[in-house]
Amino acid sequence: MDVQILTQCLELMGERCADPAPLVFQRLFAENPAAEALFVRDTAGLVRGEMMAVTMEALLDCAAGDAYAVNLVEIERVNHEGMGVSPEVFDTFFRVVMAVFQDILGPDWTNEMDGAWRRVLGKFPHALA
């Protein structure tokens, strides 16, 4: 079950990295340098932390059968345009999160995990585009 595999990834991440959010945003800003300016007022990283938490919850919900996640993310995609985040940049976020998990898990990142992440990301219409 994909939800169990994703949960296992989260547990392994928790053992190795107290907070992956800074790594995720570092990678996001490396790919999209203009995006960093959007967070100038987020000095304590609270908005970034909240965004990361919502994203992980959405991934787990989607893996468990999608009670709300695909809808929520489609709505956030439009909302974010109003915050200055283009859909193209927004769409990279799940892929960036997956890449950070892959990096941190290193040799413990299995083909099974890769398959589960790709299946779940594939349910969001733009995440793997």
Find out whether 59 and 120 touch, Cβ atoms under 8 Å.
Answer: yes
Helix (H, G, I), strand (E, B) or coil at 14: helix
d(CA 84, CA 67) in angstroms, rounded, equals 28
Nearer to ligand HEM, 50 or 108 (CB): 50
CB of 56 to ligand HEM, least distance (A): 9
Q: Does 85 bind ligand HEM (CB under 6 A)?
A: yes
State which of positions 15-74 bind ligand HEM (CB under 6 A): 28, 35, 38-39, 47, 50-51, 54-55, 58, 73
Nearest partner of 125 among 60, 48, 62, judged by Cα: 62
Task: DSSP letter for 80, please.
Answer: H
Which parts of this chain interact with ligand HEM (CB under 6 A)?
Answer: 28, 35, 38-39, 47, 50-51, 54-55, 58, 73, 76, 80, 83, 85, 89-90, 93-94
